Structures are given as C-alpha cells and as structure tokens.
Amino acid sequence: MSMDGKTVMVTGATNGIGEVTALELARMGAQVIVVSRSESRCRDTVERIKRETGNEQVTYMTANLAEMNQVRQLAADFQEHYDKLHVLVNNAGAFFLRRQLSPDGYEMTFALNHLNYFLLTTLLLDTLKATAVADGETRIVNVSSEAHRGVRIHFNDLERGTYYSYQVYGESKLMNIMFTYELAKRMEGTDVTVNALHPGFVRSGFGKSNNVLMNAAMTVAQLFAISPEEGAQTPIYLASSPEVKGVSGKYFVKKAPKRSSEASYNEQAWQQLWAVSESYVWPQETVLS
C-alpha cells in the first residue's frame, strides 16, 4: 500500500499509537508532519522515523494543543509551509485524575480532548477540501474510545464543575464521535471523509501524568493492554486503506465499523455541540449561524 505523494499530519505523535501511526504512514511513503508539544521529543521521533523508514519527508511542528492560540498557530504554520493535506489524524489527548484548567482557563479534558480536535480540523478544512478537489479523497481520522459508552453530554456543565475523571474522559470521547458524525454530514457532497475509532486499551504513557497512585494503577493495568503497534492498526487503516474509500461518518473498532452508543446518534446534540464549540474557540462576533 503506497502513500507516495500524500501529506499527513498526526497529532500526539511522539509516543503510543500516534508515533506508530506516523512511522507506518512514513514507511508507506507519505510526507508526515509529527505534532507534539515537546520539541526535543518531536526531534527524536522524527529522527527515529527517518532512520527506520529511509523516508526523509518527515518533519515536525510543536504546539500545546490544550491552548487554542497554539492550535491556531499550528494551523497557520502548516498552511504557510504546505499547500496540501491529504490526511489529518487527530490523536492527541489525555486522562486527568483531578480537575485542572488549560492555559485558556477551560477544563483541561474538554480543551485537549475535544476543542483541540474541533478547532484544528475546522482551521484546516479549507486545505483538506482544496486538496480533495485537486487530488481526490482526503481523510480526517479522529481517535476516540469505547469509554464513550454510558455517558451523555451535559451541555449545562460542559466543563464539569463536579468532576469525576472517568466520566469526564468518557464525555470527551463521546464528543469526538458526535463531532465526527456532524462533520461527516457537513462534508456530504465533497471528497472529504471523516471517521472515528477506538484503538483498544493500549500500553503507552497514557494516564501517567497524574499522581503516584494513579501511575502505579496504570502500570498494573497496562500489563493487560495491547501494544501500540496493535492499537495503531485501525488509525493506519482509516488513513491509508483503499477499502474505506468513500466511507464517512462511521465509528470503527478493529478495522471494522461498529455501532457507537445510542447517545452518540442524537443529531440535535451534534448541532448543539458544534455551536457550543464555536462559542469557545471563536470570538462571538465571528461565529457563523
């Protein structure tokens, strides 16, 4: 399978499934932009990918994706240096045991796991659409989770003043899926597809940015986890496989479409989430009806 001539951006690409996804797409010949907040980790990751694949078309951009101005700068920097984008893999995210605030003052899980996906994608959407017109189908791949099941979006308390870490994480993953479905509906009639996925419970650094007890619990839990190489199979598949050409607005597990939770199919909630997300990331006077 060749990705020659394709330009791909992968966020959260310096560890876990993001790193493996970037590596394997580079191995297929893609021009890959690795995104993470750490310049040293980005540099090390890029050098390793180049060394392992022989692909010199691997670069990086740094941004703290929990901060909306840095998301905007990332999109602007990309558009300054590249005129095409064939695949966007939204992968960056985290689990926070205790409630904390982003640099913008938003609840951190909501900011990093949802607003980041929403803002970066919408900023790059014109580039994705223009690339699709010139070269054929372009793809957006949103990493979500089975943790979205059993929760719903609390629109009257999106930033969760009452904070239960697993519930808040699950809600952010539900937002990823609802955003995917609404965006797919908006992209009908274009050659831009968008799909979400559950990678599995992956052995990585995920969840280890909390306290000592949480770190220990995650270390034990990850004895039962799958490898990043296994977890990356579905995002790689959705980014590159001809088998999903033209497929959009789906949720995938183990490279197969699967029905997501009942709550995720509430179209009114999709629209409400989109409108609320716009109100967070854009000045009020610029929000379009």
> Pick the catalytic residue: 60, 106, 117, 169?
169
Burial class of residue 165 (count of CB atoms within 10 Å of its CB; 0-12, 13-18, 19+):
middle
Please say whether the beta carbons of 211 and 67 come within 8 A: no
Q: What DSSP assignment string belongs to the chain?
A: ---TT-EEEEESTTSHHHHHHHHHHHHTT-EEEEEES-HHHHHHHHHHHHHHH----EEEEE--TTSHHHHHHHHHHHHHH-S--SEEEE------SS--B-TTSSBHHIIIIIIHHHHHHHHHHHHHHHHHHHHS-EEEEEE--GGGTT----GGGTT-SS--HHHHHHHHHHHHHHHHHHHHHHTTTSSEEEEEEE--SB-SSTT-SS-HHHHHHHHHHGGGSBPHHHHTHHHHHHHH-GGGTT--S-EEETTEE----GGGG-HHHHHHHHHHHHHHHS-GGG---
d(CA 213, CA 142): 30
Residue 237 annotated in active site: no
Closest CA to 132 of 167, 84, 95, 66: 84
Residues with a catalytic annotation lie at 169
